[in-house]
Amino acid sequence: MIPCIIIYTNKLPANNAGCANAFIIRIRPDKKGDRGLLEHEKCHVEQWWSTFGLHSVLYLISKKYRQGAEVCAYRAQLQYPPASLDVKRYRDIYSIFIANDYGLPISKGEAVKLLSTANSTEE
């Protein structure tokens, strides 16, 4: 188990459902039952612990590190798709986030391939 503190709050950036800073996870109250989102944020906390806190700096200064961190977190999130979406559709939605929301030089197609690597048996 990864040591973390989970806080349910609306004090998050406008487009974020959740956010991890160091070992503190903040999630919007209306997303409290979203296991995928929680696992995504726990992945970032694990990255923070495994880098002895350097994750925060590496995430900001290295696009390659940021891309790897987000792919890892979205792969964790993909393990818990909402009942209303199949895994392929869920993956396609998150590939758009990776391609558009993190300042990365990556296309949606490249993001789909990165997320598909962990879920190739579901094709």
Q: Where are the domains of the chain?
A: 5-122
Q: For the sheet containing 24-27, what is the strand order?
A: 5-8, 24-27, 18-21
What does the pLDDT read at residue 122?
Answer: 40
Model pLDDT, residue 97:
93
Residue with tokens 């009942």: 83
Cβ atoms of 95 and 66 within 8 Å: the answer is no
Judged against a pLDDT cut of 70, whether residue 17 lies above it is answered with yes
User: Is residue 20 predicted with pLDDT exceeding 60?
Assistant: yes
Q: Which two tokens stand for residue 74?
A: 């979205």
Q: What pTM value is reported for the model?
A: 0.90
Largest CA distance in the chain: 38
Mean pLDDT (the chain, rounded): 92
The predicted-structure confidence for 49-93, as pLDDT tens digits, reads as follows 999 999 999 999 999 999 999 999 999 999 998 888 888 888 999
Give the phi and the psi of residue 20 in degrees, each rounded to 5: -120, 130
C-alpha 27/C-alpha 71 separation (Å) is 19
Give the confidence band of 118 by pLDDT, cuts at 50, 70, 90: low
